[in-house]
Amino acid sequence: MINRRSLLRTGGVIAATGALASAAPAGAAAAAEPDPALPTRNPLVEQRADPFITPPTDGMYYLTGSVPEYDRVVIRGASTLDGLASARERTIWRRPSSGRMGGYIWAPELHRIDGRWYVYFAAGDKDDPFRIRTYVLESPNADPREGGWVLRGQMVTAWDTFTLDATTFEHRGKRYFLWAQSEPGIATNSNLYIAEMASPFALRTAPVRIATPTLSWETQGFKVNEGAAVLVRNGRVFVTFSASATDSRYCMGLLTADENANLLDARSWTKSPNPVFTTNVQTSQYGPGHNSFTTVGSTDVLVYHSRDYRDINGDPLFDPNRHTRVQQLHWNTDGTPSFGVPVGKGGPIVRLSPLDAPGLFVRHYDYRLRVDGNVRELADTQFRFVPGLLGAGTVSLQSVNYPDRYVRVDSSSIRIDPFEDSDAYGRAASFVRISGLGDSSAVSLRVGTDTYLAHDTGRFVVSKPDNDQQARRRATFRLG
């Protein structure tokens, strides 16, 4: 049995993905949960940096990424994202023992274009491993894990300089190439460029520089913009990218263009002034970045790597423990992406929306709980159900961005407070989860014998709804 002392030993985090089911009291109806196809294991795959997961293709997801040895291109596939964790990995290409491409092999991406598979990857030379250029492999097979891959050569750009992290996407009938490169005459390690493609092997147009590392968060250790990923949603083209050194300072930024704009005009792109995804000490996730995107049904999924620790011995590039992780990508009411924080270990993540105010969410602010709309601090609205601190038949609500804190009722307010190994804390932070009083597909959380957590015009309170239908709706929450 999981008790308070075992919680304390694990830092307050329950790692078991089945914790929610085991904590539900007998006979309680299950409420709608976040999509079960979205994994909660963290990491998804160990020691696979720069992860790229394809959109579902013919019922399959495929994963590739950098291996710690930097010597080969690997692909694994599964019918679910969670299945990628244990899927057999195939090596589709190894670097030669000498000459060109015999050095470091970095950041492969796998793309399906016109019925064929292509891998774009960065490679150095045997005698100069940091002479990094971008190359492309091609396969006619339906399954990219099969053999038959052919090297089609180098992707030639305007300059024969350090080039890496290429991606490709189609928009409005045109295919684009987007990559990072060191441009002569600019004192940066890499900038971001875009061009239209003539074929999967060649560019049609001259490169256009759309981002240069100039802001403080882009220039820590190195002046870097790299690892671009594209998502077209809500009338806009969003490009995430990674910046700074590959240690705990590594982070993600965002470029935005209108979907009707000329993407080959640098003026079409706007860089957000602050990073959108960064190291989070509370969740013990360091240096998140080099992301990609996939989907589970209609849910957008953020794929990225990060480490579980901050301090690194030696060059961070050769620390092997950048692990592949996935989590749901949310959206703000203005149509922009909401990344939250790298969530760390634990079970399914939920957001509680009052039945009587479906556009609002329970969130914490200054450690006090309330109900708000348009919450841009996504992680303030995210919680995990874990086995109750009070014992069998109860649940507790753990904060995602402060995993050492749990929802706790005291005499004056409802708060997220640091865990205490005491019976008094356990009683105040444990609830009985039942089918929703106002809708059986939702949930209600009972406090004591006949009182419940409830919404009251923006406040999060304890109430006694009895048989009042409006009060019962206010004490009911949908999970999302």
Q: Is-contact 290 304, C-beta < 8 A?
A: yes
Give the SS3 label for residue 381: helix
Rounded Cα gap, residues 275 and 362, in angstroms = 25
Contacts of residue 106, defined as CB under 8 A and 6 or more positions apart, other chains included, come to 50, 66, 70, 121, 122, 123, 132, 164, 165
Considering the candidates 165, 218, 226, 356, report the single residue annotated as catalytic. 226
Give the SS3 label for residue 321: coil
DSSP state of 45: B
Rounded Cα gap, residues 100 and 82, in angstroms = 36
Considering the candidates 50, 183, 247, 356, report the single residue annotated as catalytic. 50
Phi–psi pair at 49, nearest 5 degrees:
-85, 170
- Do the strands 225-233 and 236-243 form a parallel or antiparallel pair, or are they unpaired? antiparallel
Query: Is 50 marked active-site?
Result: yes
Show the tokens assigned to 407. Answer: 């929802």
Q: Is-contact 127 150, C-beta < 8 A?
A: no
Q: Is-contact 64 73, C-beta < 8 A?
A: yes
Q: Is-contact 132 122, C-beta < 8 A?
A: yes
**C-alpha closest to that of 211 among 293, 269, 290:** 269
Query: Is 420 marked active-site?
Result: no
Q: Is-contact 210 260, C-beta < 8 A?
A: no
Buried b (16+ CB within 10 A) or exposed e, 93-107: bebeeeebbbbbbbb
Rounded Cα gap, residues 5 and 160, in angstroms = 59
- The residues annotated as belonging to the active site are 50, 226
